[in-house]
Amino acid sequence: MNKAYPRFLSRRVEPLDELWEFRFFENTALEALPSGEIDFAAKIVVPGAFDAMPDYMGKRGCGVYRRVLHIEPGTEALLEFEAASMTCRVVLDGVTLKEHFCGYSPFTVRVPASARARRELLVYCDNLFDAARTPMHEHYFDFYQFGGLIRPVWLHHLPRRHLLEVKVDATDYRGGEIIVRGRANAAGLVAVELLDCDQGRVEAKTNAEGVFEISLRIENPRLWSPKRPNLYRLRVSCGEDDHVVRFGLREIKTDGPRLLLNGEPLRLFGYNRHEYFPNFGPSTPYAQMANDVQLLKDCGCNFVRGAHYPQDQRFLDLCDELGLLVWEENLGWQQYSPHMENPRYREHHQAALEEMVERSYHHPCVIMWGFLNEGPSEAHETFHLVFEPSMAYLRARGGNRLITYGSNRLERDAYFEKVDIVSINCYPGWYGCEDHPAPLSLIGKFIDEFVALLDRRGLGDRPFLISEIGCEGLYGWRDQQRDFHSEEYQRDYLETVCRHVMDRPRILGVCLWHFSDARTKSKGRALGRPRAFNNKGTFDEYRRPKLARDAVRAIFREAG
Ligand code: ADA
């Protein structure tokens, strides 16, 4: 099961989730593959990370996927990749149609018409680290970066006249006033209907360029919120083609240090979550995603941060449907000023940002956009290179969402004034306090001092979120001395954090690091990370709760 709701009713969209032919070239970069015919000796399942599978476990190199497509001669098609990791090249009938450099952002590839029905598709996915070629993916990230067609792939068979894009925005969310804007590849009639309401169809003509704009009013509008996640489905038809857009009516804004959702004050309590499950790596099965949403909600969470990359659409669909607020962010992890100065990095970062926004635009659950986790936010001279254009893009094109980034620069951060929410990643009572007699006492002190610092800086009325905080607890490691890495220390730690934040309404909320244990970089980092996992999960990688779960749940549930 690869989708939560049908995005098309008349357009024929073929899921390409099945066994593909496959060949792996170990330690060989995409550009260095031997020329000539490839012998596709193996088969592999899509979606899936090849290096999470027994035959290629932990290997780096280039995986080549092959599949024959059948497309009506003389018609165009569209390939849609929900994610292809890390460096990807799409080749159809021997012609390169696309090169792509962010392993988590979705992208589409137009397939030109041909006189032949049988078309050969080769997709190259290279998971080698190469800072010069693929600078968005660095080898030092604190999460394992897998390779392959890690998320679903679709083939859209396009009717001659078809839709290129559709956007739905609320102009008055309370009154149910919406505007539908879009573009077809040729001029003509388009029709719009709300699928779950009995309101009839509205028809309109596009202009000569195929552009259209239709205003509608939803009768008796029901707003979207985590408690009442009401969704609407709107179908735009264009001859034999259509798009179904699912959206929610809601408004998010700041009011001094508070957040208002549909005018009601809201605090945020939740977790950071990596897309990871043992045996599947980043290709978490859909049922597990639903399981995760239930676990989060059961813990009293109303919020999840999709760390540190564009999210799987199926997860966002679940959050829309089940009512969980999301921070979605572009791929980034401690990239430094040299990255900002690298034009290739900037190009890839911007492309991925646009792909994320484009694909996630209609999810009401996504209330904030982020980027550059722990980036060089103290470096004034590089601000205009990535921070500024990213914020400008998100403000102009990101819809009704707030902007933030996870900062670890604290008092040195130079850009807090520019964002809607000041978010910090911090680990008081964990890193660097091996010799401290009472490390838990550092937590409240640190948080209060940071709030005081914001006040001194004139940011006393800016929403402040703790976007990461936590410590490692090894599942099953119980210790009467409650030492570091024990479940007991982790429980005391998270209880202290949650209580401290809950009792201080000045703080918008907390997003604990982390939901479940997730595999990290092998070798180097594994020395400081037992099992080569980031063990800060409140659940282990199989979602077995550690001691901390009950403590967090008891406090988060107070927020109601
Ligand atoms: C950082 C980072 C996380 C994780 C965390 C940790 O704040 O953003 O991805 O690495 O530290 O566990 O130390």
Please give the pLDDT value at position 522.
Answer: 74
User: Does position 5 have pLDDT exceeding 90, yes or no?
Assistant: no
| Structural Rg of the chain based on CA atoms | 24
Residue nearest to atom 1 of ligand 1 (CA): 425
| DSSP collapsed to 3 states, 230-260 | CCEEEEEEECCEEEEEEECCCCEEEECCEEE
Residue 197's nearest CA partner among 223, 221, 168, 170 is 221
User: Does position 524 have pLDDT exceeding 70, yes or no?
Assistant: no
Q: How confident is the model at residue 379 (pLDDT cuts 50, 70, 90)?
A: confident
The Cα 551–Cα 529 span in angstroms is: 24
Residue nearest to atom 10 of ligand 1 (CA): 142
Shortest-distance atom of ligand 1 to CA 470: 12
Place of tokens 């996640």: 229
User: Does position 470 have pLDDT exceeding 80, yes or no?
Assistant: yes
Mean pLDDT check: name the lowest of 72-86, 278-292, 468-482, 515-529.
Answer: 515-529
Options 3.30.70.2190, 3.30.70.270, 1.10.3720.10, 2.60.120.260; which CATH number does 12-157 get? 2.60.120.260
Please give the pLDDT value at position 526.
Answer: 56
- Pocket test of ligand 1: the residue of 138, 373, 413, 425 to mutate, having most ligand atoms within 8 Å of its CB, is 425
Distance 361 CA to ligand 1 centre (A): 27
Mean pLDDT of 245-250: 98
Q: What contacts 400, CB < 8 A, 6 or more positions away?
A: 170, 250, 251, 252, 253
Distance 434 CA to ligand 1 centre (A): 18
The residues that bridge with 497 in the sheet, in sequence order, are none
Distance 211 CA to ligand 1 centre (A): 45
The residues that bridge with 422 in the sheet, in sequence order, are 464
- Pocket test of ligand 1: the residue of 141, 142, 408, 535 to mutate, having most ligand atoms within 8 Å of its CB, is 142
Mean pLDDT of 203-226: 97
User: Does position 191 have pLDDT exceeding 90, yes or no?
Assistant: yes
The Cα 377–Cα 13 span in angstroms is: 43
pLDDT over 90 percentage in the chain = 94
Q: How confident is the model at residue 1 (pLDDT cuts 50, 70, 90)?
A: very low
Shortest-distance atom of ligand 1 to CA 430: 13
Distance 426 CA to ligand 1 centre (A): 9
User: Does position 334 have pLDDT exceeding 80, yes or no?
Assistant: yes
Kindly give the pairing relationship between strand 211-217 and strand 406-407. unpaired
Mean pLDDT of 209-229: 97
Distance 375 CA to ligand 1 centre (A): 12
Residue 429's nearest CA partner among 503, 480, 488, 489 is 489
Distance 395 CA to ligand 1 centre (A): 27
Mean pLDDT of 247-256: 98
- Pocket test of ligand 1: the residue of 485, 534, 536 to mutate, having most ligand atoms within 8 Å of its CB, is 534
Q: pLDDT tens for residues 282-305?
A: 999 999 999 999 999 999 999 999
Mean pLDDT of 526-538: 88
Mean pLDDT for the chain overall: 96
Distance 142 CA to ligand 1 centre (A): 7
Residue 444's nearest CA partner among 398, 503, 512, 395 is 503
- Pocket test of ligand 1: the residue of 468, 474, 535 to mutate, having most ligand atoms within 8 Å of its CB, is 468
Give 85's DSSP letter: B
Shortest-distance atom of ligand 1 to CA 373: 8
- Ligand 1 first shell, C-beta below 6 A: 142, 307-308, 373-374, 406, 408, 425, 468, 513, 534, 536
Q: Sheet containing 264-266: which strands, arranged edge to edge?
A: 252-255, 258-261, 264-266
Distance 430 CA to ligand 1 centre (A): 12
Residue nearest to atom 7 of ligand 1 (CA): 425
Please give the pLDDT value at position 3.
Answer: 58
Distance 528 CA to ligand 1 centre (A): 12
The Cα 558–Cα 560 span in angstroms is: 5
Q: pLDDT tens for residues 14-29?
A: 999 999 999 999 999 9
Q: How confident is the model at residue 4 (pLDDT cuts 50, 70, 90)?
A: low
10 Å CB burial of residue 272 (0-12, 13-18, 19+) is buried
User: Does position 172 have pLDDT exceeding 80, yes or no?
Assistant: yes
Mean pLDDT of 119-134: 97
Please give the pLDDT value at position 528.
Answer: 80
Q: How confident is the model at residue 520 (pLDDT cuts 50, 70, 90)?
A: very high
Domain 253-559: assigned CATH number: 3.20.20.80
Beta strands in 365-520 (DSSP E): 366-370, 402-403, 406-407, 422-425, 464-468, 509-512, 518-519
User: Does position 543 have pLDDT exceeding 50, yes or no?
Assistant: yes
Residue 106 near residue 75, CB atoms below 8 Å: no
Distance 360 CA to ligand 1 centre (A): 25
Please give the pLDDT value at position 26.
Answer: 98
Place of tokens 């049988």: 118
Distance 270 CA to ligand 1 centre (A): 16
Q: What distance, in Å, lies between the first and last C-alpha atoms of the chain?
A: 32
Mean pLDDT check: name the lowest of 79-93, 313-327, 485-499, 512-526.
Answer: 512-526
Residue nearest to atom 12 of ligand 1 (CA): 534
Please give the pLDDT value at position 527.
Answer: 61
Distance 253 CA to ligand 1 centre (A): 28
Domain positions in the chain are: 12-157, 163-250, 253-559
Beta strands in 239-324 (DSSP E): 241-247, 252-255, 258-261, 264-266, 268-273, 303-306
Mean pLDDT of 328-342: 96
Helical (H) or strand (E) element with 61: strand 61-70
Shortest-distance atom of ligand 1 to CA 142: 10
Residue 123's nearest CA partner among 192, 69, 175 is 69
The architecture of the domain spanning 163-250 is Sandwich (2.60)
The number of beta carbons lying within 10 Å of the beta carbon of residue 424 is 22
